[in-house]
Amino acid sequence: MYKIVSKKVLNPSVTLMEVEAPRLAAAAKCGQFLIVRARERGERIPLTICDFDREKGTVTICTQAVGASTRIINAMEEGECFTDCVGPLGLPSEFTEWDEARLAGERFLFIAGGLGAAPVYPQVKYLHSKGVPVDVIIGAKCADLLIFADEMASVCDNLYLCTDDGSLGEKGLVTGVVTRLLAEGHEYTRAVAIGPMIMMKFAALTLKPSAIPLTVSLNTLMVDGTGMCGACRVSVGGKTRFACVDGPEFDGYEVDFDEAMRRQTLYRDLEIEADHKCRIGRDA
């Protein structure tokens, strides 16, 4: 069993949990994901690995309640156990394979939207530990939903915050900040965008003229997460790829985001139905 050793409620819909999974923690690299099941008969839910502690044997996950299963996860408390936790899955971020010579001269811009700040954090932390300069933009709907600002501030060079309503940082979208930074003459060799599909789509459109190589991380639907089912297929450069084994990170300029967004909605009507299904006596 996979015990929740600590839980932090970041905002009403987002929790951060540190989960005991020693083998997973030992093998995890940034950019990868894992799959949890909250209970018997539970759904397999893919979540990006937000941090890992090899000595403690724990991994950190950040969950946003978007449907029935993620709500069940968020209701779990410290000391409770996930029935299953498996990973690391997918390929690590490309730069984790680079040596110091390859990393020298690089300057990264990370663009995080909403929950995306959580998976961005270990990547920034890793690059910072290698001495690579990193700027980070975190955007959210409002101040309450903006997460990981303090953690990020300690591992990046410049942190830019923005909210749709202006309740924290600049008022506006992450793409506005990107445009401003580029206009001000900030130079980057690489960009990474992680967040809602729609944000990644517009991050790609905004960055395209600059030709800065852009990586995005796709949170598609999945069942097994190991290549068996094909639920996660995405069109990248006109070719069908599986996000679970070929990704989850892809070239941001090659991804067909419109298709990816459409595929994400596949179970939305069933999800609404599930929300209304009477579950009294079932959730014990």
Partner 1 sequence: MDRMKKIPVREQEPEVRARNFDEVCYGYDEFEARAEASRCLNCKKPGCVEHCPVSIKIPLFIKQVKEGEFAAAAATIAEDSSLPAICGRVCPQETQCESGCILGVKGEAVSIGRLERFVADWGRENGVSTAAVPSRNGRKVAVVGSGPSGLACASDLARLGYEVTVFEMLHKAGGVLQYGIPEFRLPKERVVEPEIDNVRALGVKIETNVVIGRTLTIDDLFDREGFEAVFVGSGAGLPKFMGIPGENLNGVFSANEYLTRSNLMQAYSPDSDTPIRIGRKVAVVGGGNVAMDAARTALRLGSEVTIVYRRTEKELPARAEEVHHALQEGIHFCMLTNPVEVLGDEKGNVRALRCLRMTLGDPDASGRRSPVPVPGSEFDIESDLVIMALGTSPNPLISSTTKGLETDRRGCLVATPEGATSRPGVFAGGDAVTGAATVILAMGAGRKAAAAIDEYLKNRK
Contact set with partner 1 (CB under 8 A): 23-24, 27, 37, 41-44, 68-69, 72, 83-89, 223-224, 226-231, 233-235, 240, 242, 245, 259, 262-263, 265-267, 270-271, 274, 282
Amino acid, single-letter form, for residue 280: I
- The nearest distance, CB 202 to partner 1, in angstroms, is 20
- The nearest distance, CB 69 to partner 1, in angstroms, is 5
- The nearest distance, CB 228 to partner 1, in angstroms, is 5
Which is nearer to partner 1, 251 or 283 (by Cβ)? 283
Which is nearer to partner 1, 156 or 200 (by Cβ)? 200
- The nearest distance, CB 90 to partner 1, in angstroms, is 8
Which is nearer to partner 1, 84 or 254 (by Cβ)? 84
Answer whether 14's CB lies under 8 Å from 63's CB: yes
Question: Quick count: other Cβ atoms within 10 Å of Cβ 230?
Answer: 12
Cα separation, 4 vs 187, whole angstroms: 41
Which is nearer to partner 1, 66 or 270 (by Cβ)? 270
Cα separation, 28 vs 34, whole angstroms: 9
Cα separation, 225 vs 244, whole angstroms: 5
Strand, helix or coil for residue 96: helix
Which is nearer to partner 1, 47 or 168 (by Cβ)? 47
Cα separation, 236 vs 233, whole angstroms: 9
Which is nearer to partner 1, 103 or 231 (by Cβ)? 231
- Give every CB contact of residue 177 below 8 A, 6+ residues apart in sequence: 137, 139, 160, 162, 170
- The nearest distance, CB 208 to partner 1, in angstroms, is 23
Which is nearer to partner 1, 2 or 121 (by Cβ)? 2
Which is nearer to partner 1, 151 or 256 (by Cβ)? 256
- The nearest distance, CB 207 to partner 1, in angstroms, is 25
Cα 160 to Cα 79, 128, 209, 245: the distances in Å are 36, 17, 21, 32
- The nearest distance, CB 6 to partner 1, in angstroms, is 21
From 159, 135, 141, select the one nearest 149 (Cα to Cα). Answer: 159
Strand, helix or coil for residue 161: strand
Cα separation, 206 vs 62, whole angstroms: 27
Cα–chain center distance at 29: 13
Answer whether 57's CB lies under 8 Å from 20's CB: yes
- The nearest distance, CB 27 to partner 1, in angstroms, is 5
